[in-house]
Homo-oligomer: A and B are copies of this chain.
Amino acid sequence: MATPLDRLIHALAKLPGVGHKSATRLAFHLVRAPRNDVDELAAAVRGIKEGLQFCEECLVPSQTPRCAICDDLRRDRHQICVVEEPADLHAIEKSGAYHGLYHILHGALSPLDGIGPDALKVQELLARLQNSAVHEVILATNATVEGEATASYVANMLRVFEMSVTRLAGGLPVGAEVEYVDARTLALALEERRAL
């Protein structure tokens, strides 16, 4: 029979980036923490799924039927930036370099994990693009194997539309020194080199 401590360590260790060791440390912290703080955390965790809805346009988690970005009339409605997860939207917003709309796929293709095209919100994207004012779809999935496969798949599905389909540039990150860049990124930066 697992003790309450075992169950908490087990549950915490399922969080991304939390190993058994960190989970144990966190669990012991909670054992010692004031009752109020622990109850507050428990309630916050339980509450995260209640009342959670998604923007009916871009599918980002939202308290309202349409999210603040989709509702913002100053955003450029000619561009849709397609990302894997809500966290990617936040990263792009922080960059300040994008002023269009978004679409959250809620994942990336990963056959080994059983995530096929039907698990992604691609049909929802295609439906949005029908009779829309969108001129360009920017595929901003990760530069990982799964992200690249997802970008290819979505690009293929978008062929029926007459709009420009683009992909985030790959190459040297800002501040990178050639000497320390990994070989595959260097090969990509050479291959995709641009005219000056």
A38 at the interface (CB under 8 A from B): no
Cβ-based interface call for A188 (8 A): yes
Chain B CB within 8 A of A110 CB? no
Q: Are A172 and B143 in contact (CB under 8 A)?
A: yes
Chain B residue at smallest Cβ distance from A167: B196
Instruction: Determine the residue in chain B with the shortest Cβ distance to A173.
Output: B185
Copies of this chain, how many? Answer: 2
Interface size on A, residues (CB 8 A): 57
Verify if A68 is at the interface (C-beta below 8 Å from B). Answer: no
Contact with B along A65-78 (1 / 0, CB 8 A): 00000000000000
Is A33 on the interface with B (CB-CB < 8 A)? no
Question: Which 10 A-B residue pairings sit nearest by Cβ, starting from the closest?
Answer: A169-B171, A97-B187, A169-B192, A95-B186, A171-B171, A143-B172, A168-B189, A88-B178, A173-B185, A174-B184
